[in-house]
């Protein structure tokens, strides 16, 4: 279920801001941050992840008609506001995904995350650092045709003639560009100190790039990935600055692979459930009962569909497990089957007792005389030497 809400964030006296959030899904929290094009550019990512995660997609203050307070004039202010949002709402083990300047915000958040709220970071054609020999294209100087040519692999597919845009939408785009100029215009699209702070980010990072991006080239992305201690750089072919729009399947596949490889930190409940004392109680070695079924993983719960003798024989004895060769069949436990002289199964499984060997029969009274050794027996008279 998707819902839209407004959250007030307080960073200090006179530093409050309201953020509009779209919320969907359950599970691990994912914060999806849009770029200069607005929240519509990451809507597909949010919808894709909401099937397995709790996705928060904020609208940056000043975009799409939202209010931007006068004190909010830098990307670092937005990063601090979103960190406070995660902290105030109690989010842990957060995956941050940012596109374009959203990646800049996410990288700044990870660099200042002293509370350890963020456990994974994905940057999609991000800006934010200054790379020698890889200049960032001056986006504000481009017209509609230039934006399509430099931003997309297939420019004709995404070019929009300004004459066909409704006046309300054109005014909203102009307001978005004005907000981006305030936040990222000077210095242009980078923070001079961000590259030095990225070395403190000790979480897994995926840097994803479109191979046809001419706003920030793949060489820029490789250099940015090198600033992180644990970053992997990947390229989406036939895509530009917004690969999630041009190649959504390839982009979502890269996101899913990163999430599978880095599922986040285990929660306290999961750790307790998978602890040795809880995962396999000691009595389960001899008595696979209903209590064991609750504690054992679901893959081992075969009691309902498996005969009793097979179930009991599947639990090896601790004494024979170490010396049983690989591939050898396991002998059935003593409790398999029915007890002697009874029509009901045994109430519980007990370990087999070692039986003593039968005693030697003895005659009543005195013991029989022992026979002499064969070599010392008396020989017949005919065989005796004279």
- Give the tens place of pLDDT for each residue, 21-46: 999 999 999 999 999 999 999 999 99
pLDDT for res 1? 81
- What domain count does the chain have? 2
Based on the domain organization, do 173 and 289 belong to the same domain? no
- Among 265, 290, 307, residue at a domain's last position: 265
Residues 6+ apart with CB under 8 A from 22: 2, 3, 4, 39, 46, 55, 56, 57, 58, 59
- Identify whether 320 is preceded by a cis peptide bond (ω within 30 of 0): no
User: What average pLDDT score do residues 209-237 get?
Assistant: 97
- The residue segments making up the domain with residue 192 are 3-265
Based on the domain organization, do 98 and 141 belong to the same domain? yes
Least confident of 223-227, 259-263, 306-310: 306-310
Based on the domain organization, do 220 and 285 belong to the same domain? no
Is 364 inside any structural domain?
no
Based on the domain organization, do 148 and 277 belong to the same domain? no
Asked if residue 78 lies in contact with residue 101, where contact means CB atoms within 8 angstroms, the answer is: no
Based on the domain organization, do 159 and 307 belong to the same domain? no
Based on the domain organization, do 39 and 103 belong to the same domain? yes
Based on the domain organization, do 128 and 160 belong to the same domain? yes
Based on the domain organization, do 112 and 238 belong to the same domain? yes
Based on the domain organization, do 198 and 310 belong to the same domain? no
pTM of the model: 0.71
Is 342 inside any structural domain?
no
Q: Could you give phi then psi for residue 59, rounded to 5 degrees?
A: -100, 120
Is 347 inside any structural domain?
no
- % of the chain residues with pLDDT over 70: 69
Based on the domain organization, do 254 and 300 belong to the same domain? no
User: What average pLDDT score do residues 52-67 get?
Assistant: 97
Based on the domain organization, do 52 and 152 belong to the same domain? yes
Sheet containing 205-210: give its strands across. 3-10, 16-24, 54-59, 29-33, 94-99, 118-124, 205-210, 231-236
266 or 327: which carries more pLDDT confidence?
266
User: In the numeric block, which tokens belong to residue 223?
Assistant: 């250099």
User: What average pLDDT score do residues 194-215 get?
Assistant: 97
Based on the domain organization, do 105 and 151 belong to the same domain? yes
The model's confidence at residue 368, banded by pLDDT at 50, 70 and 90, is low
pLDDT for res 132? 94
| Residue 238, domain CATH | 3.40.50.1820
């Amino acid at each position: 279920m998707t819902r839209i809400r407004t959250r007030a964030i307080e960073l200090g006296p006179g530093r409050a801001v309201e953020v509009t959030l779209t919320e969907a899904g359950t599970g691990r929290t994912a914060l999806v941050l849009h770029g200069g094009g607005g929240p519509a550019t990451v809507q597909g990512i949010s919808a894709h992840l909401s099937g397995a995660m709790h996705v928060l997609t904020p609208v940056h203050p000043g975009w799409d008609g939202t209010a931007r307070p006068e004190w909010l004039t830098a990307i670092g202010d937005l990063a601090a506001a979103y960190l406070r949002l995660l902290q105030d709402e109690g989010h842990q083990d957060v995956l941050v995904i940012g596109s374009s300047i959203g990646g800049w915000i996410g990288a700044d958040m990870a660099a200042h995350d002293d509370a350890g709220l963020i456990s994974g970071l994905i940057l999609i054609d991000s800006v934010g650092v200054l790379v020698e020999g890889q200049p960032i294209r001056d986006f504000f100087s481009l017209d509609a045709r230039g934006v399509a040519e430099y931003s997309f692999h297939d420019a004709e597919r995404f070019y929009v003639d300004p004459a066909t845009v409704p006046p309300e939408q054109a005014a909203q785009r102009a307001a978005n560009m004005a907000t981006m100029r305030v936040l990222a215009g000077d210095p242009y699209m980078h923070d001079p100190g961000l590259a030095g702070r990225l070395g403190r980010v000790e979480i897994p990072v995926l840097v994803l790039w479109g191979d046809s991006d001419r706003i920030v080239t793949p060489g820029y992305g490789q250099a940015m990935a090198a600033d992180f201690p644990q970053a992997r750089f990947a390229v989406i072919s036939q895509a530009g600055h917004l690969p999630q729009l041009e190649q959504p399947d390839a982009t979502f596949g890269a996101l899913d692979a990163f999430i599978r490889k880095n599922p986040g930190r285990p929660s306290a409940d999961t750790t307790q459930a998978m602890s040795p004392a809880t995962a396999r109680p000691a009595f389960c070695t001899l008595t696979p009962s209903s209590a064991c079924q609750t504690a054992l993983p679901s893959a081992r719960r075969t009691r309902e569909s498996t005969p009793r003798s097979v179930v009991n024989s599947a639990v090896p004895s601790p004494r024979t497990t170490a010396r049983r060769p690989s591939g050898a069949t396991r002998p059935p436990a003593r409790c398999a089957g029915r007890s002697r002289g009874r029509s009901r199964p045994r109430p519980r499984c007990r370990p087999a007792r070692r039986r003593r060997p039968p005693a030697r029969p003895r005659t009543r009274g005195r013991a029989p005389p022992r026979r002499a050794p064969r070599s010392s027996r008396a020989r017949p008279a005919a065989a005796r030497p004279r």
